[in-house]
A and B are shown apart, each in its own frame.
Chain A
């Protein structure tokens, strides 16, 4: 039994305090996952644009990892990996996947407000659809599975 695994969750229905605690924890980790993913992908894409087409060779791919923007992107994506793993240790995948999609909206809005990119009418509809999808899924309980396998 690893030190951190903690007690097995018997039920999320039994103890209301536990449901409240999990919801708060889920919100914090969702924010961390979204932040690291949005900033990480932006840094990575910025770096890859500077590098251009690097071809198929594995060596060129490895070399690209040492480009400053690519390296910053990777550091942020490591943070994403850790927070995403922690979040999935209690929350459903069918909850985490939709709610973290708010990152698409933040990417588009940061393009508009930070880089002065224009957002077309179609893109605004996309932003509206994603935001409503995130809100709808956000209303569901983050955890629906009651069985946790023992270590």
Chain B
């Protein structure tokens, strides 16, 4: 059960983040932050298929994480959730076409290792 939840957590978080990044780039830079601008942005985002897909992924990820916390300690749940760094960085490079230079790979690697150590 534990590892099934971990798989669901990692897959849905990756889907949520990548789809969110894709949808928000499609929407364009958010530049105004007064209430009127925010509500019209939200209205537009609510009809953005990537943002909808992302919200779906985030919802699954949220419930998987909450469920995992009820059967496993934080010291297990937090480091395994850092596994999302690997598929997300790969997809950022291949799918979102970001320039992931050596500093970003090194940083992601250091952080993933650090999360494992910090959660023990």
- Mark A residues whose CB is within 8 Å of B: 2-9, 44-45, 48, 52-54, 56, 61, 64, 77, 81, 84-86, 88-90, 92-98, 101, 104-105, 108, 120, 122-123, 125-134, 136-137, 139-140, 144-145, 147-149, 151
- Taking A2-B40, A125-B114 as known contacts, 9 extra A-B pairs with beta carbons closer than 8 A to each other, sorted by chain A number, are A2-B44, A9-B28, A48-B69, A94-B93, A126-B113, A129-B117, A145-B25, A151-B26, A151-B27
Which chain B residues border A44 with CB–CB below 8 Å? 66
Q: How far is the CA of A133 from the CA of B110 in the complex (A)?
A: 5
Which chain A residues border B66 with CB–CB below 8 Å? 44, 48, 61, 64
Distance from A18 Cβ to chain B, minimum over Cβ atoms (Å): 10
Which chain B residues border A88 with CB–CB below 8 Å? 20-21, 24-25
Q: Is the CB of B97 within 8 A of A130?
A: no
Q: How far is the CA of A98 from the CA of B101 in the complex (A)?
A: 13
Name which residue of chain A comes closest to B29, CB basis. Answer: A90
Residue count of chain B within 8 Å CB distance of chain A: 60
Q: Is the CB of B85 within 8 A of A89?
A: no
7 A-B residue contacts at CB 8 Å?
A4-B44, A5-B28, A92-B96, A98-B108, A98-B111, A105-B118, A127-B114
Q: How far is the CA of A52 from the CA of B25 in the complex (A)?
A: 40
The count of A-to-B residue pairs whose CB atoms sit within 8 angstroms is 182
Q: Is the CB of B31 within 8 A of A6?
A: yes
Which chain A residues border B21 with CB–CB below 8 Å? 88, 92-93, 96
Q: Is the CB of A133 within 8 A of B108?
A: yes
- Mark B residues whose CB is within 8 Å of A: 17-18, 20-21, 24-32, 36-38, 40-41, 43-45, 51, 58, 62-63, 66-67, 69-71, 74, 78, 82, 85, 88-89, 92-93, 96-101, 103-104, 106-111, 113-120
Which chain A residues border B101 with CB–CB below 8 Å? 140
Which chain A residues border B97 with CB–CB below 8 Å? 145, 147
Q: Is the CB of B20 within 8 A of A145?
A: no
Q: How far is the CA of A45 from the CA of B97 in the complex (A)?
A: 35
Q: How far is the CA of A124 from the CA of B94 in the complex (A)?
A: 34
Q: Is the CB of A93 within 8 A of B18?
A: yes
Q: How far is the CA of A92 from the CA of B96 in the complex (A)?
A: 9
Which chain A residues border B118 with CB–CB below 8 Å? 104-105, 108, 123, 126-127, 130
